[in-house]
Amino acid sequence: MENKNNCGAENNGCTFRTTIGGQALIEGIMMRGPQKQAIVVRNQEGGLEIKEDELKLIKDKHPILGLPFIRGVFTFIGSLVNGMKALMWSAEFYPEEEEEPTKFEKWIEAKFGSEALMKWIIAVAVVLGIGLSLLLFIVLPTLATSGLLYFFPEAPMWLRNLLEGVVKLIIFFLYLYLCSKMKDIHRTFQYHGAEHKTIFCYERGLELTVENARQMPRHHPRCGTSFLFVVIAIAILASCVVFELPGIREVATNALVRILLHLVMLPFIVSVTYELNRFIGRHDNVVTRILSAPGLWMQNFTTFEPDDSMLEVAIEALVRVLPEKQGDDQW
């Protein structure tokens, strides 16, 4: 398919950067453009299942939520909910053995209908996902560090902050590594690679074909993996600053107080990270390359080389969200 953006096909330093992004699903990909969202899944018979929707952004209804340093948190939560909906839709084409619904599920469906049941399931899944993240990257590192330093009560605050940051990074690396070794997750990460390659192909002005997309890199600087890494990195820096402040330093030795302070700081950290990622995405210089390098390296665990059928899915999803007016998706 012909690609008419203004980026030259002959170089890798493409100045065109699209706001279009995606998410890998179960045997499929979701792409979000400036006006539309498309989910494309390859079913068990080899055909394509396609779902398109017009985007309804919260900032359109409440403009204040689209302002810098406010939009980050709401965009992040919206992405979680939207991504979970897309993931569940893709899972419908690869059902596991059906289990008997619980009494509560039957009551919800009988009382409010199947749509309400689905909303309830999605809400629970999002809450559990957020809860697991908080447990792994806030509660567990804080308790582990507190347990270790129990034997060294005179340890300075900077050492506590350093150890806690190291534990967070180890958990994050180990989590990604173990996920990448799971067969089903590995295939999902192949679709993640297909998403990146297809977007690169579009940004470089090449015709959107499997042959062209196959030659593209699978590491993309505006990836969600990079976002999560920067969240953790900024959280570590914020802890080193905030926990050294007079009045906080004296109480921050208590594990429960530290956990509560981490939770209070989290919305601000997500907001700052979102704005930083937007800045990095819009600029290409020595500083932004250095800042994006760790996230690109971590994509070695979250993206793998896709096969041609995966690239076909990614191209189909991307084509369906391209803006009617050329350039409306300029980053």
Domain ranges of the chain: 21-94+104-319
With bands split at pLDDT 50, 70 and 90, how would you rate the model's confidence at 306? Answer: very high
- Would you say residue 98 has pLDDT above 90? no
Range in 41-55, 73-87, 165-179, 221-235 with the lowest mean pLDDT: 221-235
Positive or negative: CA dihedral 269, 275, 278, 279:
negative
What is the SS3 assignment for 224? Answer: helix
* Amino acid at site 248: I
149: nearest Cα among 162, 158, 160: 160
Most confident range, picked from 142-146, 175-179, 196-200, 238-242 = 196-200
Q: How far is CA 20 from CA 16, 39, 67, 203, in A?
A: 12, 13, 20, 10
Angle at 100 between CA 96 and CA 102, to 5 degrees: 120
pLDDT average, residue stretch 109-118: 65
Tell me what pLDDT residue 9 has.
Answer: 38
Strand-pair partners of 181 = none
Q: What is the pLDDT of residues 1-60, one digit of tens each?
A: 667 665 543 344 456 889 999 999 999 999 999 999 999 999 999 999 999 999 887 888
CA dist 300 to 26, 116, 147, 208, 312, Å? 20, 39, 32, 24, 22
DSSP tally for the chain: helices H, then strands E: 12, 4
- Over the range 282-296, which residues count as b (16 or more CB within 10 Å of their CB) and which as e? eeeeeebeebbeebb
- Who has greater pLDDT, 120 or 271? 271
Q: What is the mean pLDDT of the chain?
A: 87
Question: Residue 298 pLDDT > 60, yes or no?
Answer: yes
Q: pTM, whole model, 2 decimals?
A: 0.86
CB distance 40 to 198 below 8 Å = no
Identity of the amino acid at 59: K
- How many C-beta neighbours within 10 Å does residue 264 have? 10
Mean pLDDT throughout 285-289? Answer: 86
